[in-house]
Amino acid sequence: MSVNWFKDLKVVDLSQGISGPFCAKLFADLGATVIKVEPPEGDYSRTLGPFPNDVPDPEASGIFLGVNTNKSGVVLDIRTDIGKQILSDLVNSSDIVVESFVPGVLDDLGLGFECLSKENPGLIMTSVSPFGQSGPWSKYEASNLIISNLSGHSMEHPGPVDDLSEQPPLQLGAHQAEFLGGICAATATSLALNRRSVHGKGCHVDLSQIEALSLLPQTPLAAYAIGAPGKQRSKASAGKASLLAVLPCKDGYVGISPRQQDQWERMVEIMGSPEWAEDEQFATEQGRLDDWDRLEKLLISWTSSMFKEDVYRLCQATRIPSFPLNTAADLFDSAQFKAREFFIDVDHPVAGTLKYPGWPFHLASGSKVSMHRAPLLGEHSQDFIK
Alpha helices in the chain (DSSP H): 19-29, 62-67, 81-92, 105-108, 113-119, 144-150, 176-199, 209-214, 218-225, 235-238, 261-270, 285-290, 292-303, 308-317, 328-332, 335-339, 381-384
> Is there a domain that residue 227 lies in?
no
| C-beta atoms surrounding 339 within 10 Å | 8
Core vs surface per residue 64-88: b (16+ CB within 10 A) or e: bbbbbbbbbbbbbebeeeebbebbb
Q: What is the distance between the alpha carbons of residues 158 and 301, in angstroms, rounded to a whole number? A: 23
- What band does 5 get if pLDDT is binned at 50, 70 and 90? very high
Whether residue 322 sits in one domain with residue 347: no
Of the listed ranges 36-45, 121-130, 209-218, 254-263, the one predicted with least confidence: 209-218
Helix (H, G, I), strand (E, B) or coil at 42: coil
In order, the DSSP letters of 208-252 are: EHHHHHHTS-HHHHHHHHTTPPPPP-BHHHH--SS--EEEEETTE
pLDDT digits (tens, 9 = 90+) for 184-195: 999 999 999 999
Phi, psi of 279 (to 5 degrees): -55, 130
Whether residue 356 sits in one domain with residue 320: no
Strand-pair category, 96-99 with 124-129: parallel
pLDDT of residue 242: 72
pTM: 0.92
Contact between residue 34 and residue 70 where contact means Cβ atoms under 8 Å apart:
yes
Among residues 310, 330, 350, which one ends one of the domains?
A: 330
pLDDT of residue 213: 92
pLDDT of residue 174: 86
Whether residue 169 sits in one domain with residue 23: yes
Whether residue 200 sits in one domain with residue 272: no
> Is there a domain that residue 222 lies in?
no
> Is there a domain that residue 325 lies in?
yes
Whether residue 254 sits in one domain with residue 208: no
Q: What is the CATH number of the domain that holds 325?
A: 3.30.1540.10
pLDDT of residue 171: 84
> Is there a domain that residue 228 lies in?
no
Whether residue 371 sits in one domain with residue 262: no
- What band does 226 get if pLDDT is binned at 50, 70 and 90? confident
> Is there a domain that residue 180 lies in?
yes
- What band does 239 get if pLDDT is binned at 50, 70 and 90? low
Domain that holds residue 296: 240-330
pLDDT of residue 240: 64
pLDDT of residue 241: 63
Core vs surface per residue 349-369: b (16+ CB within 10 A) or e: eebeebebebeeeeeeeeebb
pLDDT of residue 297: 95
Whether residue 359 sits in one domain with residue 317: no
Count of domains for the chain? 2
pLDDT digits (tens, 9 = 90+) for 80-127: 999 999 999 999 999 999 999 999 999 999 999 999 999 999 999 999
> Is there a domain that residue 226 lies in?
no
> Is there a domain that residue 268 lies in?
yes
pLDDT of residue 172: 81
